Amino acid sequence: MRSEATVLPRHRRLLYALAGVGLYVVSLIATAPASMMDWMLLRLTNNRIILVQPEGGLWYGKARNLMLKTADGGLRSMGSVNWEILLLPLLKLELAARLEVADGQSNSSGIIAAGFGKLHLRQMRATLPVSLLSEFMPTWQTWKPNGALKISTDEFTLSQQGVRGTAELEWRNASLGLSQVNPLGDYRVNIQGDQKIAQISVSTISGVLHLVGKGGWSESDGLSFRGTALADPSKRAELRDFLRLLGSEQSNGVYQIVISHFKLRK
């Protein structure tokens, strides 16, 4: 016969049972295969991002291809991808992953983190096709943009409260379907946010269309911008109609660009 001293109290047996279940669940998560990441991405992105042939584990893995489902139902390859889910941000209830994407022409890397309605970019050095903007910003579909977008930032946060941090964007070999001349050139956009408003400046690196201007963006007021556009003398006649789409001519072929409280359609 067992003595009463060897019988565990009921509440302690319950605690041990719960601890055992908890350890089992943790072990399942810790050893989850890379296919779990594909499952998560499909649900988090409404079936728009697909991993092809994922390998490794949920926490550290890779896939032969990262595919984006386009608005017309097709699939667009973004290249191979490696990922690592970072543990420390989880303590702050933030999901963060270090990503590396290679498409054969360029490599992109950085940390993307999300939590409490905020999106963080850290140590980001990425190159993306500008045409991707049309998939997420319907307004751009009319302009049919092309070229490469280079993104560089050490710390950048986008939330409902605004933008914080600095980022530099370069639009290389910029092309637009509404222009008779392509490519138009290379352009740089600097963004500096202080939570309330993001200050934006645009400058021309090189090209037949010279752009310069400054503006700002906020969640409540949208985008406001003032700048000028000037075509290279050798392309002034061919770009005249396109320049008229950008703004009104002031003098000597200089066109003024004015955008006031513009908000992108969601």
Q: What is the pLDDT of residues 208-251, one digit of tens each?
A: 999 999 999 988 888 999 999 999 999 999 999 999 999 999 98
- Band of the pLDDT at 17, cuts 50, 70, 90? low
Q: What was the pLDDT predicted at 128?
A: 92
What SS3 class is residue 130?
helix
- Assess if residue 131 is contained within a domain: yes
- Assess if residue 16 is contained within a domain: no
Specify the residue for token string 């009319």: 142
Give per-residue pLDDT as tens, 49-74.
999 999 998 889 999 999 999 888 88
- Assess if residue 209 is contained within a domain: yes
Q: What was the pLDDT predicted at 24?
A: 41
- Assess if residue 75 is contained within a domain: no
- Band of the pLDDT at 161, cuts 50, 70, 90? confident
- Assess if residue 67 is contained within a domain: no
* Tokens found for residue 179: 């222009």
- Assess if residue 50 is contained within a domain: no
What SS3 class is residue 94?
coil
What SS3 class is residue 198?
strand
What SS3 class is residue 241?
helix
Neighbours of 220 (CB within 10 A): 9
Number of structural domains the chain divides into: 1
- Work out the percent of the chain whose per-residue pLDDT is above 90: 57
> Regarding predicted confidence, which is higher, 84 or 92?
84
- Assess if residue 36 is contained within a domain: no
Whole-number Å distance between alpha carbons of 122 and 135? 23
The whole domain housing 186 covers: 117-266
Q: What angle do CA 65, 132, 165 make, to 5 degrees?
A: 100
Output the average pLDDT for the chain.
87
Whether 35 and 63 have beta carbons less than 8 Å apart is answered as no
- Assess if residue 123 is contained within a domain: yes
- Band of the pLDDT at 15, cuts 50, 70, 90? low
Torsion, Cα 144 149 153 159, to 10 degrees, reads 20
What SS3 class is residue 237?
helix
Burial class of residue 69 in the structure, from the number of CB atoms within 10 Å of its CB (0-12 exposed, 13-18 middle, 19+ buried): middle
* Tokens found for residue 160: 């409902």
Whole-number Å distance between alpha carbons of 186 and 182? 11
